[in-house]
Amino acid sequence: MHMQTTTGNISGLAKFKPAFNVALYKTEVDVVGNHLSGLLLIKKMPDSSTRMVFSNEMGLKFFDFEFTTDGNFKVYFIMKKMNKKPVIKTLRKDFELILMEHLDTTAASVRINNGLIYYVFPEAKGYNYYITDSTGDNLVSMERASKRKTVVQAIMKNYINGTPDTIGISHKTFNFTIGLKRIER
Amino acid sequence: MRKVVIVLLGMVLGISLKAQYAGYSPVSDLAKFKTDFSAATKKIVAIKSDFVQEKNLSMLSEKIISKGKFWFKRESMVRMEYNQPYQYLMILNKDKIFIKDGQKENKISAKSNKLFQQINRIMIDCMQGTALDNPDFKTRIFENKTNSLIELTPQTKGLKEMFKSINIIVDSKDFSVISIEMLELSNDNTLIRFTNKELNAEIPDSLFTIL
């Protein structure tokens, strides 16, 4: 991908950082041919960390995660069947992509490609991209990529008081999508 | 001195048992309870009710509340229809489970999944009155002036990893289910309360059909 470097302000991204005070999402997950559904409760805790608890409609808990503002992560609970390192790692990275906490601006750059503005954040083994339209007013998508290709694509749409009511995460290298639709409690 | 210690110990133990379920004390005649329970629940061939489900996430100080309608019919048929704040339908019909989540439908054979089978079993046992006969659980029974509390403690591996206990509260008069509470190993729990109960109303089989 040819990208022109441009002088752009990373701070243009701040308005897209989701504000989750307490939000409940109806959740659909499709993973390698299996369908899972439930409710994801996202809450900003008094210590500023973000908790995510995913349970099915009948109350059966799948996982309970904590994301701290300094980029740390804790598993409070995960259902036995999901308790595998690669699963936890994937979920952690997917949610960190959309939480936009702890974005390291020191090595970040802003580029333009095909009329879209790319905010590029180098990661340990690749890049996270936050992509807006040319006006910078709309977050078109977010991506996690390896050095060679896109691994995950995500969207956050329809922000109401800073909280997106629609979130989608879609993996490109294997069949795994998460769809979140906010519901009133 | 020894007598004093024994009495004191007895009081402490008595208090700790009582404190476990506030207001409840252990049923004095277990055999009689089981006989009465069995006789009363055999008379229940169908239940129609509303329900309110409260999922309590204690560390987050949050509750997720959902509401819907519930139907039960002998033998082994349950229909649970959530309509607030989301649409979700679950039908249990013998060994089959049908789930409709919004638009998406899913048919599962409980036979293929041991855990599903056990959870399926619990729901049906609660309604059918066979909860006391389930070998997957250790049972303790408590009572207060109006209700009885059946505490089911899972004994099998899969269920033990998910629940600390499942507590069913039944009306002492007709033994119909008032609530089912599933306590997790953490301090979280899910409580389903059944209201506006109609016992033995006419319920068509079609409500439980899984195609």
Instruction: Please indicate whether residue B206 or residue B9 has the higher confidence score (pLDDT).
Output: B206
Q: Which domains does chain A show, CATH number per domain? A: 5-9+11-183 (2.50.20)
How confident is the model at residue B1, as a pLDDT? Answer: 74
Residue B8 lies in a domain: no
Q: Which domain holds residue B35?
A: 26-208
How confident is the model at residue B110, as a pLDDT? Answer: 65
| Confidence label for B206 from pLDDT (cuts 50, 70 and 90) | very high
How confident is the model at residue B10, as a pLDDT? Answer: 59
Using the predicted structure, report yes or no on whether residue A155 has a pLDDT greater than 50. Answer: yes
| Residue with tokens 């110990």, as numbered in its chain | B9
- On whether the CB atoms of residues B155 and B206 are closer than 8 A, the answer is no
Kind plus residue range of the DSSP H or E element containing B33: helix B30-42
A24, A57, A62, A74: best to mutate for the B interface, most B CBs within 10 A:
A57
DSSP SS3 for B105: strand
How confident is the model at residue B18, as a pLDDT? Answer: 42
Whether residue B85 and residue A183 make contact (CB cut-off 8 A), yes or no, is yes
Question: Closest Cα to residue B157, out of B203, B200, B114, B123?
Answer: B114
Mean pLDDT of all residues belonging to chain B: 87
- Mean pLDDT to the nearest integer, A76-100: 93
How confident is the model at residue A164, as a pLDDT? Answer: 96
- Residue in B with minimal Cα distance to A45: B60
How confident is the model at residue A170, as a pLDDT? Answer: 97
Residue B70 lies in a domain: yes
Q: Which residues contact B62 (CB under 8 A, 6 or more apart)?
A: A22, A41, A43, B56
Residue B16 lies in a domain: no
DSSP B108: E
How confident is the model at residue B119, as a pLDDT? Answer: 74
Mean pLDDT of all residues belonging to chain A: 91
- Mean pLDDT to the nearest integer, A96-112: 89
Radius of gyration of chain B (CA): 19
How confident is the model at residue A7, as a pLDDT? Answer: 52
Whether residue B60 and residue A51 make contact (CB cut-off 8 A), yes or no, is yes
Comparing CB atoms, the residue among B59, B64, B101 nearest residue A24 is B64
Residue B11 lies in a domain: no
Kind plus residue range of the DSSP H or E element containing B11: helix B2-20
Residue B186 CA to residue B164 CA, distance in Å, equals 8
Using the predicted structure, report yes or no on whether residue B3 has a pLDDT greater than 80. Answer: no
**Domain tally, chain B:** 1
Contacts A–B by Cβ distance under 8 A: 60
* Range with top average pLDDT, A26-35, B29-38, B44-53: B44-53
Residues of B with CB below 8 A from A51's CB? Answer: 59-60
Residue B159 lies in a domain: yes
A contact set with B (CB within 8 A): 22, 24, 26, 28, 35, 37, 39, 41, 43, 45, 51, 53, 55, 57-61, 64, 76-77, 80, 183-185
Residue B116 lies in a domain: yes
- Mean pLDDT to the nearest integer, A56-85: 92
Residue B14 lies in a domain: no
How confident is the model at residue A130, as a pLDDT? Answer: 95
| Confidence label for B17 from pLDDT (cuts 50, 70 and 90) | very low
* Tens digits of residue pLDDT in B45-104: 999 999 999 999 999 999 999 999 999 998 889 999 999 999 999 998 888 888 898 778
Any idea what the CATH number is for the domain that residue B77 is in? 2.50.20.10
Whether residue A28 and residue B104 make contact (CB cut-off 8 A), yes or no, is yes
Classify strands A150-160 and A139-145 as parallel, antiparallel or unpaired: antiparallel
Whether residue A58 and residue B53 make contact (CB cut-off 8 A), yes or no, is yes
- Neighbouring C-beta atoms of residue A142, cutoff 10 Å: 22
How confident is the model at residue B11, as a pLDDT? Answer: 63
Residue B76 lies in a domain: yes
